[in-house]
Amino acid sequence: MATPLTPNPAYKCMTKLFSHILLIVLFLTIVESQSIIESLPGYSGSLPFKLETGYIGVGDLDDVQLFYYFIESERSPKDDPLVLWLTGGPGCSAFSGLVFEIGFVILMSWMHTLRPPSIIKPGDDCPLSFDFDNSSRDSPTFKLNPFSWTKVANIIFVDAPVGTGFSYARSWEGYSITDTISAAQTYSFLRKWLLAHPAFHKNQLYVAGDSYSGILVPIIVQKISDGNEAGVKPAMNLQGYVLGNPTTTPHDDYNYRIPFAYMKALISQKQYESIKTNCKGEYINVDPNNTLCVNDLHTVTDCTQKIYSGQILEPTCSLTSPKPVGSKLDASLLGEDAIHLLSLTQVPELWCRSYNYIFSYIWANNETVQRALHIREGTIREWIRCNASLSYTDDVFSTLEYHRNLIKKGYRILIYSGDHDMVIPHISTYAWIESLNLTIATDWGPWFVDGQIAGYTMESYYKKSRLTYATVKGAGHTAPEYKPKECFAMVNRWFAYYPL
C-alpha cells in the first residue's frame, strides 16, 4: 500500500503566501479606482460630507466595470447602517436616485432666459426647486437636500447593470446581461467593495431599491445570505432589505392596474364589472378571440391613456423626444421626452415632472463634471439617465419565492408604495404580502409626520422576521421623489427599530 504523501511545510507556506499576495493585488486594484470628491461643479464651496466615486471590476477578468457613488453618513459613519442602493429600470443611473430621490443634494436650475413662472409646481410635494436668479440654462446648480437618507445611513449608489450611467464593459460580450447575471455581478461588486472598505464590515447592511429593483434586490440578498452561511469572506452583517413600489411578479403587478383604475375613479363601476366578467380577471394574457374582453380593454385604454401612470394626479407629457428612452414598466414613466426642451425658444406653460430631469443630462455629460467625478475618458459615448437600450433579458419572472425564503431567515423587511402609482399599484404589493400568510403584529392603520397622516402601515412577522408595509399618501412610483419628508421620516424610524 502506498504511503500517503505528507504536505511539504514549505509548499503550504508558499501556497498561503501566494493567496495573500493575490488578495493584496485585488485590494490594490480596487483601491486604485477610488477617488475622494471634495467639490463638484454646480455646488459652491467644499462638500460638507464625504463623497467617494470609483469603479469595481466584476465578471470574467473584471470585464464589467461598475461605477459607484458612496456617501458616508452625516451622523455617525461607524455606527449607522450601510445601504446598497439600486435604482430601477433596469438601466436607470444611480445618479437619478442620488439627486431626485434619496441623495444628498437637489439639482436646481431652469432655463434662465425662459423661466415662465407658470411651470413651477409649488409646495413640498416636489423635491426640486428652481433657482431662477442664480442658475443658467447651461449651468445647473445644487443645494443640499434636507431629507437625504445619507443623514442616517452610509449609502453606496451603484450604476448597475452594465450599460447604466457610467458603468461599462471592456468587451461587447460584457453588455449581454440577464436578471441573474446582473444580480450576481452586483453581489460580486458588494463583496469587493467591502474588501476595499474594511471599516464598514461590522455596520448593519441593508440592500435597497425601487421599481424594477424589486426583481434584483431579493436575489442579491439571497446570495449574501447564502454566502454568509457558506463562510464566504468578507462576512456581511446583513440585516434585511428595503423596497419601494417594487416589481415582484410582473404579470400580477400589471394585472392590478385595472382594479386600481377603478378604485381611483379612472373607470366607472359599470366598466369595471363588465371587464371583470368578460376577461375573468385576466387583463394581460388575453385571448384575442374574446371580443367582449378585448373591447372592454379598449374602453379602459381610452379612459387611462392620457394619465401619467407614475403619479396619476400629475400632467402627462407627449412623447416628442429625438432620443426616446422607454422602460420595461412604462414608456412614459421615465419622462425622457422632455429633453427636447433644451432646444426650444419658448417653454410650454404646462409643468411636467419630466422637465426636472433635463438638467441631469446637462450636468452629467459635461466634461468638467466627468473629470471631477473621475470618469474614465472614452468609456461611454453619452450619459443617459435611464437607458432602455440595454441588451437585457428577463429571466426571473417572480421574486415571491425569494421573499418567502428570506422571511424564514429572520431578516427585517420594509416595503413601501406611493399610493398614486399606477405602474406598480399598491394593491398589487399588498396582495403578494398577504399571500405570504404571515402573522399580523400591527394591523392596518395610519402613520404620521408632523401630526398629519403620511400613509398607512401594517407590520407582520414570522418568528424573528419582521415585514413592515407602508403606503405613502400622495406619492408616485418613486415615492421619495414625491414625498421626501415623509419617506425620510419612514426610513429613519425603521432603521432605528421604531414603529412608523
Q: According to the model, what pLDDT value does residue 133 have?
A: 41
| Angle subtended at Cα 317 by Cα 294 and Cα 157, rounded to the nearest 5 degrees | 100
Please, which pLDDT band fits residue 351 given cuts at 50, 70 and 90? Answer: confident
Query: Given a cut of 70, is residue 6 above it in pLDDT?
Result: no
Q: Which residues of 429-467 are buried (b: 16+ CB within 10 A; e: fewer)?
A: bbbbbeeeebeeeeeeeebebeeeebbbbbbbebeebbb
Q: According to the model, what pLDDT value does residue 20 have?
A: 46
What does the H/E/C string look like for the chain?
A: CCCCCCCCHHHHHHHHHHHHHHHHHHHHHHHHCEEEECCCCCCCCCCCCCEEEEEEEECHHHCEEEEEEEECCCCCCCCCCEEEEECCCCCECHHHHHHHCCCCEEEECCCCCCCCHHHCCCCCCCCCCCCCCCCECCECEEEECCCCHHHCCEEEEECCCCCCCCCEECCHHHHEEEHHHHHHHHHHHHHHHHHHCHHHCCCCEEEEEECCHHHHHHHHHHHHHHHHHCCCCCCCCEEEEEEECCCCCHHHHHHCHHHHHHHCCCCCHHHHHHHHHHHCCCCCCCCCCCHHHHHHHHHHHHHHCCCCCCCCCCCCCCCCCCCCCCCCCCCCCCCHHHHHHHHCCCCCCCCCHHHHHHHHHHHHCCHHHHHHCCCCCCCCCCCCCECCCCEEECCCCCCHHHHHHHHCCCCEEEEEEECCCCCCCHHHHHHHHHHCCCEEEEEEEEEEECCEEEEEEEEEEECCEEEEEEEECCCCCCHHHHCHHHHHHHHHHHHCCCCC
What does the H/E/C string look like for 211-250?
A: CCHHHHHHHHHHHHHHHHHCCCCCCCCEEEEEEECCCCCH
**Above pLDDT 70, what percent of the chain?**
80
Please, which pLDDT band fits residue 358 given cuts at 50, 70 and 90? Answer: confident
Please, which pLDDT band fits residue 353 given cuts at 50, 70 and 90? Answer: confident
**What pTM does this model have?**
0.87
Q: According to the model, what pLDDT value does residue 406 have?
A: 97
Task: Read off the pLDDT of each residue in 214-219 and give the average, rounded to a whole number.
Answer: 98
Query: Given a cut of 80, is residue 118 above it in pLDDT?
Result: no
Mean pLDDT of the chain: 85
User: Of the ranges 29-38, 119-128, 143-152, 460-469, which one carries the lowest mean pLDDT score?
Assistant: 119-128
User: Of the ranges 25-29, 67-71, 357-361, which one carries the lowest mean pLDDT score?
Assistant: 25-29
Please, which pLDDT band fits residue 325 given cuts at 50, 70 and 90? Answer: very low
The count of other CB atoms within 10 Å of the CB of residue 2 is 4
What are the structural domains of the chain? 22-252+394-495 (3.40.50.1820)
Q: pLDDT, tens digit, for every residue of 412-443?
A: 999 999 999 999 999 999 999 999 999 999 99
Q: pLDDT, tens digit, for every residue of 177-198?
A: 999 999 999 999 999 999 999 9
Q: pLDDT, tens digit, for every residue of 378-409?
A: 999 999 999 988 999 999 999 999 999 999 99
Distance, in Å, from the CA atom of 413 to the CA atom of 76, rounded to the nearest integer, reads: 23
Q: According to the model, what pLDDT value does residue 319 have?
A: 44
Query: Given a cut of 70, is residue 346 above it in pLDDT?
Result: no
Distance, in Å, from the CA atom of 312 to the CA atom of 348, rounded to the nearest integer, reads: 20
Task: Read off the pLDDT of each residue in 293-307 and give the average, rounded to a whole number.
Answer: 96
- Residues with active-site annotation: 211, 421, 477
User: Of the ranges 108-112, 224-228, 414-418, 440-444, which one carries the lowest mean pLDDT score?
Assistant: 108-112
Please, which pLDDT band fits residue 487 given cuts at 50, 70 and 90? Answer: very high
Query: Given a cut of 60, is residue 282 above it in pLDDT?
Result: yes
Task: Read off the pLDDT of each residue in 449-464 and give the average, rounded to a whole number.
Answer: 97
